[in-house]
Structure 1
């Protein structure tokens, strides 16, 4: 990578250190962050460096390689995603109004929630399918690279003080009935209903290194690709395109787009503001 003379002192050395620690993580633990967007990675690595009292990234790299518990902490930094149930309610409303009618035409449904974090979007999708009478013929694959996030998602336990916000999102998303019908409140937490959990498979999957594992009718991958560089975004879009059946749907986050991808020509935009696309029948 070429650097102009105007860069801040030490920036070139820092870029080298970032590349080296990412290579070390890949070689030692097989997690591939090498094509993640640079600014976000640097910010998160600096936070980890300060937390562990490391004077530079080289010192942090040494600890990551030698101390698995340090690596697990750094991994949590690199994969952290803030989510909530029915986040961006207009997205779920568009799914309900424009995508669900097509999904009804399939005898069985497979949905892939990629980058599921702690599971809020997967449960939101399951609730949407249940309200539309489709859950019994739906299987939701919810994937992430963080074992910690997957464990939390599998448990389906969330803080009670978040429930009011979740419920407001659910109503704005065209929810039928009360969101509280889908969880049990106990003490200061809520537990998602078993009928939802039974239709979700939580699994470890990396968009950087892994392959397609099933044919699906809908892929929902939101607020994940913003952390990828262009090459890794195109790899992910390639996986989604391969996984989707003809006329299947792809939903992205509000700051993400297919427009500049090499796969854009294989899709029709059906809800521009909500970033929902449909794979062309010949795709």
Structure 2
């Protein structure tokens, strides 16, 4: 009976994903099935549904429910200077190359609530590059993008942010970049001038600009192989010749269809270079 129940659940899952695509033009069909199963079980509890079919009915007829569902599809876990070694490698190894360009564009794909975008803005400011850089942060979750644009983060997160900033090679105190406000910290508006936040789906959208660095960290692990290949193809198309791609610590291009179009630039920090 358990196997039969799992089979029915998987059928309902496929129908739900097709319904979301047709109704809202968001395509989650190539997300990792194992991850989706866990998340949809959590969503069923959240919306008091006994079956995915009941959840589908709510999603189709109540757009507000779909908006509340988005966090179950997208992982909203982000920190400033998360994995400090990555940012230190960017500072020490990638920035010297970026300095050779008269103007720079950087794309943070799947930026969630924006912590990585603001981290890169601070790093570039300290390296004297921010004024000639445009930073694009994209995500499919409009609520996350609103948080990212505001640049306001809870006070209880600042200690960890500051520690990671120092480990990433920060040159000052992180507190020099924010002002206490709204029971948290609001980051400097001067940094905001170089940031653009926009809706973009790696599953359905195309390249929107030529860029020198793509940072897409801890996103591909939630995609199946087909969607990983599609995303990497987008990054390859977007990057200038010898441009850089940064992935998460548990991610790799090793078995990706685009593997031959990149070389390892910094193996441990998962930074690749377009060839």
Alignment of 1:125-274 (within 5 A): 125-186=120-181, 188-274=183-269
Deviation string, structure 1 residues 157-194 (Cα, Å, up to 9, x no partner): 00011001000000000011111111111252100101
Structure 1: runs of 5 or more not aligned: 1-5
Deviations 1:200-236 (A, max 9, x none): 0000000000000000000000001110000000000
4+ aligned runs moved over 6 Å, structure 1: none
Q: Please, what TM-score do these two structures have when normalized by structure 2?
A: 0.98
Give the structure 1 partner of residue 59 of structure 2. 64
Match of 1:111 among 102, 106, 110: 106
Q: What's the CA shift string for 1:56-105, capped at 9, x where partnerless?
A: 00010001000111111111221132110000000000101110000000
Please point out which of 15, 39, 56 is paired with 1:20.
15
**Partner-residue secondary structure (3-state), 1:10:** helix
Question: Counterparts of 1:55 and 1:174 in 2: how far apart (Å)?
Answer: 50
2:177, 2:21 → 1: CA distance?
39
Q: What does the per-residue CA deviation read over 1:26-81, in whole Å, with 9 as the maximum and x for residues that have no partner?
A: 10001110000011111111111111111100010001000111111111221132
CA deviation after TM superposition for structure 1 residue 7, in Å: 7.5
Quick check: 1:34 aligned with 2:29? yes
Query: CA–CA distance in 2 between the matches of 1:69 and 1:142?
Result: 24
CA contact (8 A) 1:161 1:188 kept: no
Name the structure 1 match of 2:96: 101
Q: Secondary structure at the match of 1:8?
A: helix
Looking at structure 1, the residues matched to 69 and 102 of structure 2 have their Cα atoms a distance apart, in angstroms, of 43
Q: Which residue of 2 aligns with 1:3?
A: none
Deviations 1:218-257 (A, max 9, x none): 0000001110000000000000000000110000001110
User: TM-score by structure 1 length?
Assistant: 0.95
CA–CA distance in structure 1, aligned partners of residues 124 and 204 of structure 2: 30
SS in 1 for 2:171: coil
Match of 2:115 among 92, 114, 120: 120
Runs of 5+ unmatched residues, structure 2: none
